[in-house]
Structure 1
Amino acid sequence: MSVRYRFTPADTPALRRLPFERMESEGMTRAVLWNRANPCLLDWLECVNPQHAFCWLAHDRNNALAGAVWLNPVMGRCGCAHFCIFRAARADWKNLGRQAVAHLFRALPLAALLAVWPAHYRHVTRAAKCWGFGKPVLLPKACHMPRVHNPARCRDGFMAVLHNPQGGI
């Protein structure tokens, strides 16, 4: 039987902090917040600031936090999607990601989702393909991935689009 996830809005400061706290405990903060040299809670809160982002928490049938999905509107009815899947749900990444994508299209009047990620994140490339995003396009040096001793560091990135199967509202 496939796990059915429940998506709830991270609509309070305490709920918006939960994914960051889990990222920290699982040692994945730097991988998720790759555009910061030394990511901290304030960087995360900027990413999910309700003035310019939407964020939902994914819970499994036991109400455990399985992941988070957040979206920054880009242009018109296109949004830039971001995902984070926590350790306990990682084996179910295909299912959770598909449900997250479906949730975004149900929750907002989107015509398409955009994803941008570092090209060397092969797991993200595999996930984007599985979840229905189109063929990735290489963006040379598009991902600003600063380090404390190399704040200007940039790496190649990929960009892919997923069109709403319903055409958007």
Structure 2
Amino acid sequence: MKVVLALGSNVGRRFDTLQGAVDALFDAPGLDFVAVSPVYETDPVGGPPDQRAYLNAVVIGSTMTLGPKAILERALGVEAAFGRVREVRWGPRTLDVDLIMVGDLLSEDPELTLPHPLAHERAFVLVPWSQADPGAVLPGRGSVAGLLADLDQQGVRLRPDLALQPPD
């Protein structure tokens, strides 16, 4: 099954944190690396508090053995390893790892909604995802390219000077 994870950081050494997250997500068995998007700098979304711009990327993996909750647990563990603190909703963060989709699974589970319930509205997810996987489809919503056509992308800027590497 294809697994799509969105990464974001706006505190500390943002790029180093994103690279560390890519490495850590694929460090344990069960999740295989497929692709990583270019890095984008994006305006914060969601309101106060005022905060620094984010670096965002999307990483794509595949699994034959891990279920969605195991992948979520791994993502939360990686966030914690990089000092993620959840004090202010939409607030600054060292690392945000969002599980966007797992295969074509649809879930309304309160602990894990799939696909991610806001992914179709977020240019900072869809722009990098479209670069990593041009034919991507968000289950239940349609093609990523089609969803992007309806979104304002002004706050999403390519950072050609930054390139995430596949995990070691």
Alignment TM-score, normalising by the size of structure 1: 0.33
Higher strand share: 1
RCO higher in structure (CA 8 A, sep ≥6): 2
Question: Which structure has the larger Rg?
Answer: 1
- What TM-score, normalized by structure 2, do the two folds share? 0.33
